[in-house]
Amino acid sequence: MFTLVKESLVSFDHITRRNMELHVFILMLVVHVSTEVNVVHDDFHFTGCSDTEKEDMYGFDGEEIYHSDFNKKEGVMTLPDFSDPISAPGFYEHGVAEMEICKQNLATAIKAYKNPLEEMDKPDSSIYAENDVQLGVENVLICHVTGLFPPPVRVSWSKNNVKGTDDMRLSQYRRNNDGTYNIYSSLTFTPQEGDIYSCTVNHKALDQPLTKSWDVNIAQPSVGPDVFCGVGLSLGLLGVAAGTFFLIKGNNCN
């Protein structure tokens, strides 16, 4: 069972989105902020829990700015490096309190809905390099998994069919407009010619794991344009020479 509660400044709407076996209860706070030029922004707080997962995140206009890491027991600011540094004192402690409330709401929801059949959506994935690929230059591979419901999903990497890497990172779950979720996994790597990297996704909605591969294939500079230019120039010079020859012959005949 999956229950989504959306709170605004003027009303409270209770929306049941999906039924799921994991019994996830989610609380989302959306605040619409209007400026003098009537530009609307969304400031949101996302809290979710299940039998095995806990999520607590703050964001602005669809972008995450903070999440609670319950494994490391600390808050994590996720603003880009070029932004002004900000702190969030007390956010982690507030997240811990929210998890306790979420568990209580989850227990109530389980009794109320009596474990209905679960609906699921199969995830899809894509894999690409963050920057232009150069041999021997460190880069980042991104595996984007989207359209999944319900969380969680497991993402693993392999290099040349050898599983397991130490440089993998996983983002927080982000909710899509249709109620499904997406998540990013990133892998730091140094490309070498011929290497093949694979991202494998495991989710209960899949009949078998979903694997997408990406190979290091640096395109060599094409010799085609140089050849065509050379041939064209040669033919042009031959044409000029032939024209000059016939012009001289014609003058001699006259």
Domain ranges in the chain?
2-113, 124-215
Give 223's pLDDT tier (boundaries 50, 70, 90).
very low
Tell me the percentage of the chain whose pLDDT exceeds 70. Answer: 70
Q: What is the mean pLDDT of the chain?
A: 76
Tell me the percentage of the chain whose pLDDT exceeds 90. Answer: 36
Average pLDDT of the segment spanning 103-129: 87
- Which residues, in sequence order, are bridge partners of residue 60? 43, 63
pLDDT above 80 (res 149) = yes
- Express each pLDDT in 34-56 by its tens digit: 555 677 888 888 888 887 788 89
Residue closest to 98 by CA, chosen among 128, 139, 57, 64: 57
State the CATH architecture for 2-113.
Roll (3.10)
Q: How far apart are CA 7 and CA 30, in angstroms?
A: 6
Per the model's pLDDT, the better-predicted residue between 246 and 216 turns out to be: 216
- Confirm whether pTM is higher than 0.85: no
What local confidence, expressed as pLDDT, does residue 214 receive? Answer: 95
pLDDT above 50 (res 19) = no
Q: What are phi and psi of 218, to 5 degrees?
A: -85, 120
CATH topology of domain 124-215: Immunoglobulin-like (2.60.40)
